[in-house]
Amino acid sequence: MSEFGSRLRELRRAAGLTMEQLAEASGVSARAISDMERGHSRTPQARTLAALAAGLGLGPGQLGDLEDAVRQQRVQAVGRPQLCEPPRAVKDFVGRAGELDRMRRHALAGFGPAPVAVVHGQAGLGKTALAVRLADQLRDHYPGGRFYLDLRGTDPEPMAAGDALVRLLRALEVNARTIGETDDERSSQLRAVLRDRRCLLVLDNAGSEAQVRPLLPSEGASLAVVTSRRVLGGLEGVARIALAPLGPDESAALLRAIAAQAADPRAAAGVEAVARLCGHLPLALRIAGTRLATRPAWTVDHLVARLADADRRLATLSTGDLGVATAFALSHAQLSHPARELFRRLAHVPGVDFAPTLAAVLTGAHPDDAADGLDELVDLGLLQQSGPDRYRFHDLIRLFAGERLRIEEPAGTRAATAKRMADWLLETAVVAGRWFEPGYGCLPAGYAGLVPLATADEADAWLQAERNNWLGALRSASRGGQYQLVVDVAEAMHWYSDKYVRAEYWYDVYARSRAAAARLPDRRQEVTHINYFSWAATQCARRPDEGARIAMDAHRVAVDLGDVKEQAWALRYAGDAWRQAGDPSAALDSYRRGAELSDLAGDHDGYVLLRSGIAQALTELGRHADALTECRATLREAEDRPMAPRPALAALVNVHLTMAAARCGLGDWAEALRVAERALPAAVEYGYAGYLAETHLTIGRARLALGAPEAARSSVHLARDLLEDLPHGRLKTLAGEVMQALP
């Protein structure tokens, strides 16, 4: 028993109090009081000592005696080595408020087995700093002491569980002669000590469940905080705290806390750029801030310029014995050989995320084996799971993977792997896109690809999920001179692109296919893709003047070739551009000329779509009765002419929306409502959000005019939600006006 413990017991007994009564009077737990009296805990903090004195009703003299006992005990402890002392807490710690709060609540819940928290995540996220911060915040709740042990889980030879047990038992002042000889005996001893004392263990850098499991308390009020790059999914009954990178505001706050240059308000934009280039990773931010702070002549913009060089970024994020790449390398060294190959080859992926099938293509492995490899990377924090069967790199880990790829594979192997991946992506994109092409509309016979594309919905889902990857592959094929492949992909996307008509990436797709087609001998391909590029300039890039010029270029080339069908399509795209530019008269003339040529060429799809364009132009000119006549004629033509399903559906939606708009213009609201409601199923089937928005908006306008404001409100809200991510300024303005008119 210590001098302090003996004196505390004398004072409690003199006051006629049991431990439980003193606990109630002071607010200090009975277990903590027991630990202090028996000398099983370290000297109390000033706040705890004051609470005990108040509970005992001590006068100044008695309190002074107790304080002297505390000081004497501290002096006696100075000469003894303190094992497993926690490291110094970080003074400029920022963020993690939610994680800290969750761990505090878990630690102090006060029921069930002894609490254990596992903090896991990739290298550099600040797992150790978070655990030490928590230990510092909870020091008064654990009078039995706070103990820290680095388990060296990322070393080639992690600390053995038996060695860890001996260290902890010695730190807990268990007599060395009584420490058990086997790991099971030592583990049992540790659990017994922790059951009787309120201690906090920080078990840092755990390598496996087997290593850490014998070190955990089983019962009592002690807390164990385990940090690991692995999830340690085999540990039962623990609270798992998955760390993510800091938020932008937290990243900026950390940089400002470290470097004076970052605290200058005028450097805010540069600080934001540094945080982004560091991937909001605490280790990278700390290194970047330290480099700035130790170089007073540097500005934040100077640091941004250094970090902006992707090839040198990891080298820049290194100072002293700290380095981002060094931290990643510790995890990389633990990978199996197949997982190392997979890790470096994933640097070829052009998009931000990917599915296991792409991993299989890169390595030539079976998809199940590739999925196992991805799980290994996730488990070591070298990859993040971004959704069901979707994975992504942290930006800095992607750079590290690229470094490993350049170091570990010759240039020829890298080039062959990259081409195999790009070809697979583009060939799959062609198969998926052709589901929406009038000449295809199904899966090719004998298809045995790695991804399921048995329906149009599956094809659409794959094209959207892998969009950044097949787009990246298309750009690579364009640079590499695979001109016919570029044209084939763009052609397969022609009708599919209508489903996402306002997506700006189509401008890039058709700019590349136009340029590629110009390098091929078939000039008919060239004029077709000039037309597609006109559509993309008008509808996707929202540059109708450019779209009209490109369309008339296509018209001139089509005239030179004698290609009547493409002349008609060029006039269609020119009409669309002029109508978007606010010149429906020029559009009307272009549509009419195009319709004549389509009819002459026997292009039924183009003819009916041009007739629907004529009706739209008439409506915009205020000639609503003429527009209705044209719409009815167009519907008859659509019934009489053999059309491909998707062009027919597009014409059906356009004609009904135009009829509804014309009825609105004539003030025939009941008929406008009927036509718009009839258009709704076709708009849903077509899948373009702009058509759906216009349909719901027309329904809402008609309902409001017919005296049903609540029903109108629901429809207009739907329209506004659909328009939120679309650039339809006219429809957005109209929706706002209708909302204001609602009671």
pLDDT tens, 378-422?
A: 999 999 998 888 999 999 999 999 999 999 999 999 999 999 999
Q: Which residues pair with 387 in a beta bridge?
A: 390
CB atoms within 10 A of CB 432: 26
Query: For the domain 3-78, what is the CATH code?
Result: 1.10.260.40
Sign of CA pseudo-dihedral 513, 515, 518, 521 = negative
Give the position of tokens 């149009």: 456
Give the position of tokens 């009975």: 30
**Residue 292 vs residues 265, 301, 341, 472, 679: alpha-carbon distances, Å:** 16, 10, 36, 35, 61
Distance CA 682, CA 694 (A): 13
* pLDDT top residue among 88 and 472: 472
Whether 563 contacts 527, CB under 8 Å: yes
Whether 576 contacts 539, CB under 8 Å: yes
Q: What percentage of the chain exceeds 70 in pLDDT? A: 97
Distance CA 190, CA 584 (A): 85
Q: SS3 for 606-665, per residue? A: HHHHHHHHHHHHHHHCCCHHHHHHHHHHHHHHHHHCCCCHHHHHHHHHHHHHHHHHHHHH
Compute the CA torsion angle 604, 609, 610, 614 (nearest 10 deg).
140
State residue 40's pLDDT score: 65
Which of 52, 62, 57, 1 lies closest to 30, judged by CA?
52
State residue 16's pLDDT score: 85
For residue 150, what are the contacts with CB-CB under 8 A and spacing of at least 6? 159, 204, 205
The first and second tokens of residue 498, run together, are 């209508």
CB atoms within 10 A of CB 24: 13
CB atoms within 10 A of CB 461: 15
CB atoms within 10 A of CB 260: 11
Distance CA 187, CA 171 (A): 14
Instruction: Give the CATH architecture of domain 327-409.
Output: Orthogonal Bundle (1.10)
Distance CA 192, CA 188 (A): 6
Cα 515 → chain centroid:
34
pLDDT-wise least confident of 41-45, 55-59, 456-460, 506-510: 41-45
Q: Which residues pair with 224 in a beta bridge?
A: 116, 201
Residue 654: HSE in the Cβ half-sphere, 13 Å Cα cutoff: 24
State residue 80's pLDDT score: 52
CB atoms within 10 A of CB 60: 8
**Residue 512 vs residues 291, 491, 508, 582: alpha-carbon distances, Å:** 43, 12, 6, 28
Per domain, the residue ranges of the chain are: 3-78, 97-242, 248-320, 327-409
Q: Kindly state the helix (H) or strand (E) to which residue 319 belongs, with its residue range.
A: strand 318-319
pLDDT tens, 655-694?
A: 999 999 999 999 999 999 999 999 999 999 988 888 999 9
Q: SS3 for 454-518, per residue? A: CCHHHHHHHHHHCHHHHHHHHHHHHHCCCHHHHHHHHHHCCCHHHHHCCCCHHHHHHHHHHHHHH
Please report which confidence band the pLDDT of residue 232 belongs to, taking 50, 70 and 90 as the band edges.
Answer: very high
Distance CA 477, CA 282 (A): 38
Q: Kindly state the helix (H) or strand (E) to which residue 12 belongs, with its residue range.
A: helix 3-14
CB atoms within 10 A of CB 696: 24
Q: Please, is 525 exposed, middle or buried when counting C-beta atoms within 10 Å of its C-beta (0-12, 13-18, 19+)?
A: buried
Mean pLDDT value of segment 601-614 = 96
Q: Residue 79: is its pLDDT beyond 50?
A: no
Which of 550, 524, 525 lies closest to 536, judged by CA?
550
State residue 78's pLDDT score: 47
Mean pLDDT value of segment 86-90 = 83
**Residue 725 vs residues 106, 496, 581, 583, 728: alpha-carbon distances, Å:** 41, 19, 21, 26, 9
Q: Residue 73: is its pLDDT beyond 70?
A: no
The first and second tokens of residue 208, run together, are 């496996």
Residue 594: HSE in the Cβ half-sphere, 13 Å Cα cutoff: 32
Give the strand pairing for 146-150 and 200-204. Answer: parallel
- The topology under which CATH files domain 97-242 is Rossmann fold (3.40.50)
Residue 142 backbone zone (phi > 0: left; psi -120 to 50: alpha; other: beta): beta
Which of 533, 536, 392 lies closest to 469, judged by CA?
392
CB atoms within 10 A of CB 546: 17
Distance CA 70, CA 655 (A): 89
Distance CA 138, CA 200 (A): 9
**Residue 154 vs residues 1, 228, 408: alpha-carbon distances, Å:** 40, 9, 21
Q: Residue 155: is its pLDDT beyond 70?
A: yes
Q: Please, is 67 exposed, middle or buried when counting C-beta atoms within 10 Å of its C-beta (0-12, 13-18, 19+)?
A: middle
Distance CA 183, CA 661 (A): 81
Whether 578 contacts 548, CB under 8 Å: yes
Q: Residue 603: is its pLDDT beyond 90?
A: yes
pLDDT tens, 524-547?
A: 999 999 999 999 999 999 999 999
Give the position of tokens 């705290």: 241
Whether 510 contacts 529, CB under 8 Å: yes
The first and second tokens of residue 558, run together, are 């089509």
Q: What are phi and psi of 699, to 5 degrees?
A: -60, -45
Angle at 450 between CA 448 and CA 451, to 5 degrees: 105
Whether 460 contacts 503, CB under 8 Å: no
Q: Please, is 561 exposed, middle or buried when counting C-beta atoms within 10 Å of its C-beta (0-12, 13-18, 19+)?
A: middle
Q: Residue 319: is its pLDDT beyond 90?
A: no
Mean pLDDT of the chain: 91
**Residue 235 vs residues 49, 383, 399, 730: alpha-carbon distances, Å:** 37, 21, 32, 58
For residue 498, what are the contacts with CB-CB under 8 A and spacing of at least 6? 436, 646, 650, 686, 688
Please tell me what DSSP assigns to residue 240: E
Cα 39 → chain centroid:
51
Which of 27, 31, 34, 45 lies closest to 12, judged by CA?
34
The first and second tokens of residue 354, run together, are 């990917």
